[in-house]
Amino acid sequence: QVQLVESGGGLVQPGGSLRLSCAASGSIFGIYTMGWYRQAPGNQRELVATITRGGATNYADSVKGRFTISRDNAKNTMWLQMNSLKPEDTAVYYCNAQEELGGNRYLQHWGQGTLVTVSS
């Protein structure tokens, strides 16, 4: 079973930077897409960025030009570099991995989340 563990969250001032990490363990051969999602109080969980096993990336409009997602398949690790942080970025950030089971069946794996607070 796939297990995901996030780290790197914390308190940062507006305009600052943070780097989040996600370490994966278990049977990860079927994982194709990984990504970062976030959820602020009163909001639905939303996509921040995704990256395929081949390295293709996709970003939410709100973070384009500020955030960078990357992964190392050999080390089973994914990162999210966050620059020019805004108060609107405050949320719990979750690591996600999409596992293809075959026959158009997919299983979503989630980490426990790491809190990012952007405030003076």
Which two tokens mark 50?
């995704």
Q: How many helices and strands, by DSSP H and E, does the chain display?
A: 0, 11
CA pair distance 84, 34, nearest whole angstrom: 23
pLDDT at position 94 is 98
Q: Do 49 and 36 touch, CB atoms closer than 8 A? A: yes
Low-confidence ranges of the chain (pLDDT < 70): none
CA-to-CA separations, 113 to 12, 30, 93, in angstroms, rounded:
17, 22, 5
What is the chain's alpha carbon radius of gyration, rounded to the nearest angstrom? 14
pLDDT at position 100 is 85
pLDDT at position 27 is 74
Phi, psi of 88 (to 5 degrees): -65, -15
